[in-house]
Amino acid sequence: MPDEDSGDVFLHHRALLLDTLLADPALAGPGRGAPDPDPEHSGPVSAPRGARGPKASERILALLNGEQYDPEPPPGLSSVARSEQTASPEPDPEPEPPRQPRAERPLAAGLALLRRPKVAVAAAAALALALILTLVTTGGRTDEQATVGTLVVTAPPLTTAPSTSAVPLTEPIEVKSAQSKCPPGSTAAMDAFSGLPEKAWSCVRAYKVDGQVLTIDLGRSYEVDSIGIVPGWDSVAADGTDQWSKFRTVSRVSYQFDDGNSTVYTQQTLNQRTLVVTPIRPALRASRIVLTVLQSSGDAAVNTTAISSVVVTGR
């Protein structure tokens, strides 16, 4: 074959040359030629677009110039593969510890301080001192016991009894005289002041109507503070006869005083077989009292009302 320009030869036979070169596994790009013999790298490895390998034109020019083409792995592919093979998986970030509420932070700080020996000893000493002071103050008793003890120990304030020398004591007044106007069969008015059980003032009701009057003369003025009566004949005869049921009892009575205002007190006796007292508050200065029977009780066949005793007190 005559010597021809090498460039013309390649140009005339470029199709055959390209087929030959492209059939070479070393020049095959990704996805062309033999598969990757390493099974560990059989997984999908993604490389940046445009960085899958050197261009075919670069390889052909290197072979035409008589150079051995030993391509280095593309920088993009090498860095991606190397980073995926060698880089260890990043560990999951540790969860952030939950924040304590603001109210619990001082408590946590106080507990942390108590773990220190010096602080714990100081706190124990303060607690022991407070306990000792409490025991000394209360004597080991509860609040209720201490209060009771205080009430028992504390003496009541001293009081001076009022003097009785300046103010005379109230006492029964000796009646000077008593009068009544009653029909025949009645007893004397002074029998109500005898103090003897076998005597009583009895007064027959005129026309069976109540309203008997007993006038009491004290002899002089007194500060009268009470008057009382036994509203019936409280006596038992020698033969066992009860006089209480043989006479009518005074159920309601009035007392009129000659104190300048003609003050009147009215008393319900409830027919009690005892001394029924009417207090005079304030005490009245009087020398005469008019007793009037306003109402009496008893059997309808009985027409005589009796008062066993009359007691006037004052000074």
pLDDT along the chain (315 residues), means of 10: 50 59 54 46 46 58 59 49 49 58 57 64 75 66 46 38 51 96 96 94 97 98 97 92 95 97 97 97 97 97 97 97
User: Which pLDDT belongs to residue 126?
Assistant: 78
pLDDT tens sequence across 259-297: 999 999 999 999 999 999 999 999 999 999 999 999 999
SS3 assignment for the chain: CCCCCHHHHHHHCHHHHHHHHHHCHHHCCCCCCCCCCCHHHCCCCCCCCCCCCCCHHHHHHHHHCCCCCCCCCCHHHHHHHHHHHHCCCCCCCCCCCCCCCCCHHHHHHHHHHHCCHHHHHHHHHHHHHHHHHHHHHHCCCCHHHHHHHHHHHCCCCCCCCCCCCCCCCCEECCCCEEEECCCCCCCCHHHHHCCCCCCCEEEECHHHCCCCEEEEEEEEEEEEEEEEEECCCCCECCCCCEHHHHCEEEEEEEEEECCCCCCEEEEECCCCCCCEEEEEEEEEEEEEEEEEEEEEECCCCCCEEEECEEEEEEC
* CA–CA separation, 10 and 44 (whole Å): 39
Contact (CB, 8 A) for 172 and 313: yes
**Amino acid identity, position 200:** A
pLDDT of residue 308: 97
Which residues does 68 contact at the CB level (< 8 Å), separation at least 6? Answer: 62
pLDDT value for 131: 76
